[in-house]
Amino acid sequence: MTLKLYNTLGRKLETFTPRHSDEVGLYTCGPTVYNTAHIGNLRTYIFEDILRRTLQLDGYRVKHVMNITDVGHLTGDGDMGEDKIAKASRETKRDAYAIAREFEVAFFSDIQKLNILPPTITLRATETIALQIELIEKLESNGFTYRTSDGIYFDTAKLPTYGQLSGQSSADKKAGARVEVNDEKHTPTDFALWKFSKPEDQRQMEWPSPWGVGFPGWHIECSAMSLSEFPNGLDIHCGGIDHIAVHHENELAQNEAAGRKDFVKFWMHGEFLVTDKRMGKSEGNAVTLSDLGVDPLFYRYLCLLTHYRKQLSYSQDSLQAAGNALMNLWMKLDGEKLDRSIKPISKYIESFTSALNNDLNTPEALGIMHEMMSDKEYERSEKVSTLAVFDTVLALDLTPEAAAPHIATTGHEALLLEYITARKEHRFDDSDKIRQQFSDLGILVEDTPSGSRLRKA
Ligand code: AMP
Ligand code: ZN
């Protein structure tokens, strides 16, 4: 089956084939770890997970690399403002590394709750400084850099192809550019590769470099990591749509200026999740996964109902409706068994796979799943087998075994939370009492390395 994906570079659907036989190189931009990820950020990681799982369904092995931005991302998202982690450190009077590690752990915990596969390789910006310096040196020797009083900049005018990803020329961007007061830039689209530590700043995260003590710009980390992890080229590079105009445009420019034209085959971007206002960690109106107060997979299901290239307008009602639909599916699996000797229904596997291969059409794939579930021509056991195959991509716990804890938890979320809190606080008398309460209701509490879950006794 042919896999068609929308390539931002060229703005069209294209047939995807990887460069190297059966392994796909995938690079996804990771979180800036100064705060808990909001549900908008998580929508992008869910889209990338569907992409990865679709590639796997198609039989590819996937080498998936993700960065952790623990330095260099400035509050203005450009070259001005304060480093987001340094700012959090100044405001909370906490160690910058401690903040970054705390939110990195929180990020991995969130993605685990959403059944998002962890990357094959995760690299931190602060631990790849040498690679980044090496790349800046290469750009310098190729004649693409200049020095200002606050750093080393990339000279976008030197690269005739600059602007190809967003389809905006340097001149268009000049007209629409956010006003950044930096008279020393040759062109407004130029961007920092290395910023010098200011004498008045007391930065914890700074390193010596051939140009002076400082820290890397935000875009250089992703180019440095991807160029070093994929020496033979990268198949797909992803992020949210806000990355097209600046972060990815600049990454692409760095790659080309380093002599790696066509290094990335496909650039893919997920549309935003929106609320009545722009949701942002910095705007202070960010809703986190735990704020939702529902089973995290309800949120995953909600995201899959909208195609990744369409805006998703979030509301509590839509979340609840998605939750009800998913709970219905889980209930249908109650008391069933997955018998691996029973063949999945090939007609539905085919249409499901074809929907996903059509630029990851998850709304259509979910429609096919519901059609299959209500098709009277097939036995329940065949449906259970088919659902298990669908779930390798949907990852909504649609097997009897995986669904069971969700069913058992319904209606008991508050008591389970009390149990978890009691254990966390080492109040084992209390947690034992709650365990007994559950037992009286015919429910077992299982303590697993990924958390406590309920199961019908
Ligand atoms: P950050 O942690 O800010 O670097 O962002 C992590 C990812 O979330 C990036 O791929 C962003 O493009 C993406 N992102 C940011 N805001 C939203 C949103 N409201 N909806 C979807 N994705 C978003
Ligand atoms: Zn990136």
Question: Beta strands 121-124 and 61-68: pairing type?
Answer: parallel
Q: Which helix (H) or strand (E) holds 191?
A: strand 191-196
* Helix spans in 334-398 (H): 346-357, 362-373, 380-394
**pLDDT value for 395:** 98
Nearest to 296 by CA among 46, 30, 44: 46
Q: Which amino acid is at 67?
A: N
CA of 110 to the centre of ligand 1 (A): 14
Beta bridge partners of 6: 13
Which single residue is written with the structure tokens 């059609």?
371
Tokens of 438: 């559950």
Within 13 Å, how many C-alpha atoms sit on residue 74's CB side?
20
Sign of the C-alpha dihedral computed for residues 158, 142, 68 and 237 taken in this order = positive
Tokens of 140: 């310098």
**pLDDT value for 75:** 85
The closest residue, in CA terms, to atom 18 on ligand 1 is 40
For 117: left if phi > 0, alpha if psi spans -120 to 50, otherwise beta; the answer is: beta
CA of 40 to the centre of ligand 1 (A): 6
Q: How far apart, in whole angstroms, are the C-alpha atoms of residue 203 and residue 160?
A: 36
For residue 312, give the ligand 1 atom closest to its CA.
20
Q: Which helix (H) or strand (E) holds 12?
A: strand 12-15
* Mutate which of 27, 242, 271 for ligand 1 pocket (most atoms within 8 A of beta carbon): 242
**pLDDT value for 203:** 82
Strand order in the sheet with 145-147: 145-147, 151-154, 191-196, 214-216
Ligand nearest to the CA of 219: 2
CA 405 to chain centre: 26
73 Cβ contact partners less than 8 Å away, ≥ 6 residues apart:
32, 83, 84, 85, 218
165 in Cβ contact with 151 (< 8 Å): no
The closest residue, in CA terms, to atom 8 on ligand 1 is 41
Q: How far apart, in whole angstroms, are the C-alpha atoms of residue 266 and residue 200?
A: 43
CA of 74 to the centre of ligand 1 (A): 15
Task: Tell me how far CA of residue 235 lies from CA of 5, 146, 231, 293, in angstroms.
Answer: 12, 31, 12, 37
Q: How far apart, in whole angstroms, are the C-alpha atoms of residue 3 and residue 14?
A: 8
* Mutate which of 8, 32, 34, 41 for ligand 1 pocket (most atoms within 8 A of beta carbon): 41
Query: Domains plus CATH for the chain?
Result: 4-274 (3.40.50.620), 293-411 (1.20.120)
Q: What is the largest CA-CA distance in the chain?
A: 75
**pLDDT value for 200:** 80
Which single residue is written with the structure tokens 């962890």?
118
**pLDDT value for 169:** 65
Q: Which amino acid is at 302?
A: L
Sign of the C-alpha dihedral computed for residues 438, 443, 448 and 452 taken in this order = negative
Q: Which helix (H) or strand (E) holds 292?
A: helix 289-292
140 Cβ contact partners less than 8 Å away, ≥ 6 residues apart:
152
Q: How far apart, in whole angstroms, are the C-alpha atoms of residue 127 and residue 111?
A: 22
**pLDDT value for 210:** 98
Q: How far apart, in whole angstroms, are the C-alpha atoms of residue 163 and residue 173?
A: 8
The closest residue, in CA terms, to atom 3 on ligand 1 is 32
Q: How far apart, in whole angstroms, are the C-alpha atoms of residue 87 and residue 457?
A: 50
296 Cβ contact partners less than 8 Å away, ≥ 6 residues apart:
110, 113, 114, 289
Supply φ then ψ for residue 409, to 5 degrees.
Answer: -75, -25
Neighbours of 325 (CB within 10 A): 15
**pLDDT value for 202:** 76
Per-residue pLDDT of the chain (457 residues; tens, 9 = 90+): 899 999 999 999 999 999 987 899 999 999 999 999 999 999 999 999 999 999 999 999 999 999 999 998 888 777 778 889 989 988 998 999 999 999 999 999 999 999 999 999 999 999 999 999 999 999 999 999 999 999 999 999 999 999 999 987 665 655 445 545 577 999 999 999 999 998 887 788 999 999 999 999 999 999 999 999 999 999 999 999 999 999 999 999 999 999 999 999 999 999 999 987 667 666 667 899 999 988 999 999 999 999 999 999 999 999 999 999 999 999 999 889 999 999 999 999 999 999 999 999 999 999 999 999 999 999 999 999 999 999 999 999 999 999 999 988 877 878 888 998 899 899 999 999 999 999 998 888 988 877 788 887 7
Tokens of 158: 């030197």
Q: How far apart, in whole angstroms, are the C-alpha atoms of residue 239 and residue 234?
A: 14
CA of 45 to the centre of ligand 1 (A): 9
Spell out which residues line ligand 1, taking CB within 6 angstroms: 29, 31-32, 40-41, 43-44, 69, 239-240, 242-243, 270, 272-273, 279
Average pLDDT, the chain: 92
Nearest to 243 by CA among 1, 44, 455: 44
Task: Tell me how far CA of residue 82 lies from CA of 14, 91, 182, in angstroms.
Answer: 39, 12, 14
Between helix 296-304 and helix 316-333 the angle, nearest 10°, is 100
* Mutate which of 44, 71, 267 for ligand 1 pocket (most atoms within 8 A of beta carbon): 44
